[in-house]
Amino acid sequence: MNDYNQFVQANRTTIGAMNDRLKAHFIRTFGVVGGQRAYDSFTTSMANGYGAASSGADVCADADSLALEGAGMSGSIEGLKLLAERQGLVAKLPEGLCAGVARADYAAAGGVTETVRR
């Protein structure tokens, strides 16, 4: 948990800025009410997906190591993106893939398109 806390402290400003950017994307795409609904659905789905992942000593050790490495990025967007790419993390937006993501990568990451009311 200490490594995770270090990660959050080192990247707090970047995490907040990227969250604001993500929320603005949903509002711009779906309008104020639909955007908030889509943002809530997206973040809940993402949290549930990670919460349902397997756990155990090896998984926890890997997560600690990744958090510590992420803390070393000290808010670097490029550095954090590189870590996410290396881990195979892919954004699963309701309206489809982010630009530059191959469909095979999306399918391998368990991506499913969700329907969001506009």
Give the pLDDT mean for 8-27: 94
Residue 56's pLDDT band, with cuts at 50, 70 and 90, is: confident
> Measured between alpha carbons, how far is 74 from 8 in angstroms, rounded to an integer?
10
Give the model confidence (pLDDT) of 76-90 as tens digits. 999 999 998 898 877
Q: What is the 3-state secondary structure (H, E, C) of 13-62?
A: HHHHHHHHHHHHHHHHHHHHHHHHHHHHHHHHHHHHHHHCCCCCHHHHHH
**What's the residue count for the chain?**
118
Mean pLDDT throughout 51-61?
A: 81
Residue 89: DSSP 8-state: -
Interval 62-73: pLDDT, tens = 889 999 999 999
Q: What is the pLDDT of residue 90?
A: 73
